[in-house]
Structure 1
Amino acid sequence: MAEVGLDDALVVRWCGWMDRRLTAERPNFAGGSQFKASTIDFSENAISVKGMKALCDLLEKHRVRCEVLRLSGNHIGNEGLRCLAKYLASSSQAPVQELLLTKNRFSMEGVIWLLGSLALHPAYPVWNASTERFVPLWLRLENSRATLEARRALAETCERLCFAVCLGERTDEESCGPRKCVNAACSDQLKHNCVAHLSATAWKGEAALPPPAIHARSFFSTQGLPEMKASSASASGRREEPQLLYEDEDLAVVLKPSGWSCTPQPEGVDPSWVWLAPAARRARAAKLLAQESAAPLQGWLLLQFGHDPACDVCRDQTLDRGLVHRLDVETSGPMLVGKTHKGYEHARNQILLGVLKDYVTLVHGGFAPDRVRGECHLAIDTSTYLETGKVSVDAGGQAASTVWEVLAEYQSPETRERFSLLHCRMVTLRTHQLRAHMKHLGHPLVGDGLYAPGSIPDFCPRLFLHKIRIGFFNLRGEACFLRCPLQAAPELWRALGRLKKVGGMALMGCGAPGR
């Protein structure tokens, strides 16, 4: 399909036709990778965001894998690159080993989004079964030399998000290529965090890139992060106070601790709080920390932003005071908030386009040595959620996909029960998706009294589920990734410290807690 004059409209039509063909060929397929190809070539056309979305949706739906994907010489911008990143992250096995994207229209922010999406992902770097090594994705962007500003932005992103890239190494006998990496730190059998090869001629320069490290270290490292402030809760406080992780004129990212509710139109939030003096606002926040029932996060947002005349949405209960998505009461992690009407609409659109979300969870049971990563593509039925507070795995529900990997294996010193610490990338964002998928796989979440009643262990005080990362574009078109390691949920960190580490990457110097 290269050099045939395809624009978005023609690509959409072609994808519709191909979808019907692939569906007819394997109508009842429910396994892993459905179709494989050596090369998929759409280079030298006029494909932009609509065409990229249609193509990537097709490849993701039928789980198409290929060795080489050629998309050079098109009109792909940052949003088109976002569609591509979603496809590349949709499986526990890398769907592409070599990706050519030269002569397109994306900016450095699009590159950061692509690399940030591959970072921490279970499928990257790519496992090469023939060499039994992890190999970075072979990525070709521009033939011309990257600017110093772009190299510095890349170096800063690698440092902040705890991932690495290889600029191509060469020895006397061999050099890096699509199927191998001669970088000494990338060639071990242990999974590392070097996710991509970039063109050496384009990206080598003054800005030094961080060297590769153990993949799992990113989940426990606080390197490059601002120091988390100590809780302002008093001795009688029942929960930690939310913290501000990111803020601009229109958006904010707030770390929601366990014990805060995202329920719409909560009781006990008084609009007059916006007129309180600073000392009175702090006193009111202290009462939220100490109240027995789950505290409304909307109340904290009103106290935090409501007094600012520019933050009109945070005073509007009909717009949930800026909340555009939710976390369960016991779940902790970063949340995107719109402070202004412009920011609120933008944040809602980001949710529709696909906000990046990574979670860490502890589940009951262990996994076989050959099953250290996997994926679940089971539909979620939410029709009974309002009545029962639960969802179910049902073929008639909404499509849902979760990709996961085992970070560490633990054992209770008292009961000898096995547990597995998982990292999960949410490909889709359905209600209770992760909890329902893991329950269906026979590994319910630790502390989940809703989906696994009667199995709550003594060492964990709550549902063991923490969102460690969120990614989105702000209104300036900048790719934003906020990392929130497990230490931000101290009760979960302490819970792991009560267990014995018995396997997985926890034994490889990654910094995971445990005896």
Structure 2
Amino acid sequence: MENIQHLIQENEKGKRIDAVLAGLEYNWSRTQVQQWIKEGNVTVNGAKTKPNYKSVPGDEVQIEIPDPEPLDVEAEEMNLDVYYEDADVIVVNKPKGMVVHPAPGHLSGTLVNGLMAHCKDLSGINGVMRPGIVHRIDKDTSGLLMVAKNDAAHEKLVQQLVDKTVTRKYTAVVHGVLDNTAGTIHAPIGRDKKDRQSMTVVDGGKQAITHFNVIEKFKDFTLVECILETGRTHQIRVHMKYIGHPLAGDPKYGPRKTPDLNGQALHAGVLGFVHPTTEEYIEFTAPAPASFDEFVEKLRNDVDNPVKKD
């Protein structure tokens, strides 16, 4: 049983306790938090609580995370693109189109399935469906992920995410030509009330900060680097749409007429963090997939947007 403590801060005043805990960057889902509360594994000031309890600054919250159940997700042999591995952590380059972890009704073909076949020692903090997973990227986003091989490493890596000290740089192609060469988008993100499967910029949402730098401008598109300071669900996709420059190929947040790229043009190319044991900073860079580079080359050569939908 893992114990985690959290002291309610002023900016969390009045928020539901389940929402507060789901926003702590441990990658807990709100459903998971509510289940722990129902089972009595969450206490506030030493007493059991309810999911709708309104947080008060100074509240001492303790979360007891049950030991993981026997994993019923099967290991699958995959040709994983491993950039680094030792006894504590794995850095892997996830291909576009691969889901990071299993979910009910989708228990195979994920990165976790491949990791389970690659190594037997993954942290159990995130439960049976997401062993070792410290952070995620979307199915159709390619790029680097760090995976914890034990609970001690997992906690230290997550703490770096909380402290905003992890380097996460993405390359993206967005619609339109940006006026500025660099900027910062500071806009809170929450669930879209009109579409529960989507996120949006909303008052009262979780703090979200994205920095961007223009790499190259084309006729109707711009190649940009996006640097995450926070890591909200769909953050870059939502933020770029918010400033009027949605990602090319994005089926959820892009315009109706967008390049047919089998998903958004987004690659997590740079990942850096302090090693949980050696305490040395390490950084990795993975090139964008060939399909991404080919699309950029077509834009660079102004080939009349050959992949653009009618």
- TM-score category by the smaller chain? 0.5 to 0.7
Between the aligned partners of 2:191 and 2:285, the Cα distance in structure 1 is 29
Aligned to 1:494: 294
Structure 2 CA distance for partners of 1:304 and 1:446, relative to 1, 3 Å = same
| TM value normalised by structure 1 | 0.41
Q: Which amino acid counterpart does residue 437 of structure 1 have in structure 2?
A: H
Counterpart residue identity of residue 374, structure 1: G
- 4+ residue segments displaced more than 6 Å: none
Give the AA of the match of 2:273.
F
- Using the TM superposition, give the Cα deviation of residue 484 of structure 1 relative to its aligned residue in structure 2, in angstroms: 1.4
Instruction: Write the deviation string for residues 96-141 of structure 1: whole angstroms up to 9, x where unpaired.
Output: xxxxxxxxxxxxxxxxxxxxxxxxxxxxxxxxxxxxxxxxxxxxxx
Cα deviation per residue 1:358-409 (whole Å; 9 max; x = unaligned)?
01100011123xx111111111123659x62211112221221111111011
SS at structure 2 position matched to 1:303: helix
How many aligned positions are there? 224
Amino acid across the alignment from 1:431: T
Instruction: Give the distance between the partners of 2:145 and 2:129, measured in 1 at CA.
Output: 15
Using the TM superposition, give the Cα deviation of residue 448 of structure 1 relative to its aligned residue in structure 2, in angstroms: 0.6
Relative to its length, the structure with more strand (as a share) is 2
CA-to-aligned-CA distance 1:8-36 (integer Å, 9 cap, x gap): xxxxxxxx9xxxxxxxxxxxxxxxxxxxx
* 1:46-93 CA-partner distances (Å, limit 9, x unpaired): xxxxxxxxxxxxxxxxxxxxxxxxxxxxxxxxxxxxxxxxxxxxxxxx
Q: 1:266 to 1:317 in 2, by over 3 A?
A: farther
> Compared with structure 1, are the counterparts of its residues 389 and 249 closer, same or farther at alpha carbon in structure 2 (3 Å cutoff)?
same
Q: Does 1:298 find its partner at 2:112?
A: yes
1:252 maps to which residue? 90
Q: CA 1:268/1:419 → structure 2, altered by over 3 Å: closer, same or farther? A: closer
Taking only the aligned residue pairs, the percentage that are identical comes to 30
CA deviations over 1:145-195 (Å, ceiling 9, x no partner): xxxxxxxxxxxxxxxxxxxxxxxxxxxxxxxxxxxxxxxxxxxxxxxxxxx
Relative to its length, the structure with more helix (as a share) is 1
Larger relative contact order (CA 8 Å, sep ≥ 6): 2
d(CA) in 2 for partners of 1:312, 1:464: 30
RMSD of Structure 2 on Structure 1 (CA): 2.6
Deviations 1:398-430 (A, max 9, x none): 22111111101123xxxxxx1100011112211
Residue equivalent to 1:468? 269
Q: Hey, what's the Cα distance between the residues in 2 that align with 1:253 and 1:325? A: 12
For 1:4-19, list aligned pairs within 5 A. Answer: none
Separation in 2, partners of 1:395, 1:389: 18
One-letter identity of the residue aligned with 2:285: R
1:377 aligns with 2:186: yes
Structure 1 residues 439 and 312 mapped into 2: Cα distance closer, same or farther (>3 Å)?
A: closer
Task: Give the alignment's TM-score, normalised by structure 2.
Answer: 0.66
Letter matched to residue 367 of structure 1: L
Q: Deviations over 1:280-327 (max 9, x none)?
A: xxxxxxxx7xxxxxx311101111112xxxx15379952612011111
1:272-283 equivalences under 5 Å are none
Which of these residues, 111, 119, 128, is aligned with residue 318 of structure 1? 128
Secondary structure of the structure 2 residue equivalent to 1:329: coil
Give the Å deviation of 1:434.
1.0
Contact 1:382 1:431 in 2 (8 A): no
Map 1:476-515; keep pairs closer than 5 Å. Answer: 476-486=278-288, 489-501=289-301
Q: Return the match for 1:343 from 153, 161, 165.
A: 153
Query: Could you list the runs of 5+ residues in structure 2 that have no partner in the other structure?
Result: 1-9, 11-77, 303-310
Distance in 1 separating the partners of 2:198 and 2:215 = 27
Tell me, in whole angstroms, the C-alpha distance in 2 between the residues paired with 1:421 and 1:479.
28
Partner deviation per Cα, 1:314-341 (whole Å, 9 max, x = no partner): 7995261201111110001110101123
Shift of 1:453: 4.6
User: Which letter maps to 2:228?
Assistant: M
Partners of 2:264 and 2:196 in 1: how far apart? 18
Any conservation in 1 of the 2:101–2:129 contact (CA below 8 Å)?
Answer: no
For residues 207 and 266 of structure 2, the distance between their equivalents in structure 1, rounded to whole angstroms, comes to 22
Asked if 1:362 is matched to 2:173, the reply is: yes
